[in-house]
Amino acid sequence: MIGNPAYPTYQVFLSLGVSAIITLIGMPFFIRMMKKEGVGQQIRADGPQQHLKKQGTPTMGGTVMLLSVILTCVLCATWSTDLILAVAAMLFTGSLGLLDDIESVAHRRSLGLTPSQKMLGLITISVGFCLLAVNVLGISPVISFPGGFGIDLGVLSTIIPLGEGTLHIPWLYIFFVFLLMAGLSNAVNLTDGLDGLAGGCTMVVMLVMAAVAFRYGEINLAVFAAAIAGACIGFLWFNSYPASIFMGDTGSLAWGAALAALAVLTKTEVTSLVMGGLFIIEALSVIIQVVSFKLTGKRVFLMAPLHHHFEKLGWNETKVVIRFWIVSGAFAALGFALYFQLG
């Protein structure tokens, strides 16, 4: 380990810088490799016409970011069960995204794995994560809300004897964690439609989550969140408009799962949804658009997700991204304030 664990604040800031530097160093090599192999992003034909010029831009940059986060945790964190669980959730979901990216590139289409394949993968990852969190770490299935009240999602549980111990299966909490992890993963994925958008918003949210984990006393999780923020900082150097590389589903699905894992492990399941409010709004815009069109034959937005709606209104891409960063920062600050109310 580098640094000094006796100074946790130092370790968190160190992980932020180390992860950013590793990403800054590693990404150019990855971009050159992708260009050499002719691996590029496929752009949906029904999207904004100005995006067609992005066809062929190297993708799967999330691979470098994931490696950067893992290496940073090796260098800056003391490995513990909660950190292993968080990294595993991120890594397995990122691997699912990588398979999706490979499938998309191999068949040269904007869609990769089928929705059912993605859903099966997310169910497996979220259920496994939840069972380990509850049975190994003793995470409570009670969801806390601002105002001091909570909902016990462990009321419908099955206890299975296992040798000298038991396996606790809180069915409602497992379902909730699945919705949280699948929802946030897909929400970040839907947000990843403009240069710098998902990376910048993830950076903001993870910086706040690092502060939450630090105050919660989970220094290793704070290092983990800061490492993700650092990887996003390094990535934005290459993903800012006009992007030299995209993170792909490899990155976007992984960051959503990491946020969900951090929320469960720090017991901020509700406030994390506020912190990631921009992601939630992006996902809701798609749901509203689809439901409205099926029920009435009319669209609420010019195009979904929401960032494309503003492009259709005439906002240039950079303006949309910066303004969405501002909104994301406001949600993150509000969520942090609510966390203090709960604490």
What is the sign of the dihedral through the CA atoms of 179, 182, 186 and 187? Answer: positive
Which segments within 129-185 are labelled E, that is strand? 142-144, 150-152, 157-162, 165-170
- C-alpha to C-alpha distance for 271 and 249, rounded to whole angstroms: 25
Annotated binding residue 249: yes
- Do the Cβ atoms of 69 and 19 come closer than 8 Å? yes
In Å, how far are 212, 290, 315 from 300, measured between CA atoms?
36, 9, 18
Q: Which two tokens stand for residue 339?
A: 């966390």
What is each CA distance from 244 to 22, 54, 58, 179, 283, in whole angstroms?
17, 9, 7, 33, 26
Query: Given phi > 0 = left and psi -120 to 50 = alpha, else beta, which region is 146?
Result: beta
Residue 216 near residue 341, CB atoms below 8 Å: no
The distance of Cα 189 from the centroid of its chain, to the nearest Å, equals: 8
Report the distance separating Cα 147 and Cα 161, nearest Å.
Answer: 37
CA–CA dist 333, 339 (Å, integer): 10
Q: 101 labelled as ligand-binding?
A: no
Task: Show Cβ contacts of residue 300 under 8 Å, excluding neighbours closer than 6 positions.
Answer: 288, 289, 292
Which residues make Cβ contacts (< 8 Å) with residue 99, sequence separation at least 6?
A: 112, 113
How many CA atoms, within 13 angstroms, populate the side-chain half-sphere of residue 243? Answer: 31
Summarize the annotated binding site as residue ranges. 189, 249
Summarize the annotated binding site for Mg(2+) as residue ranges. 189, 249
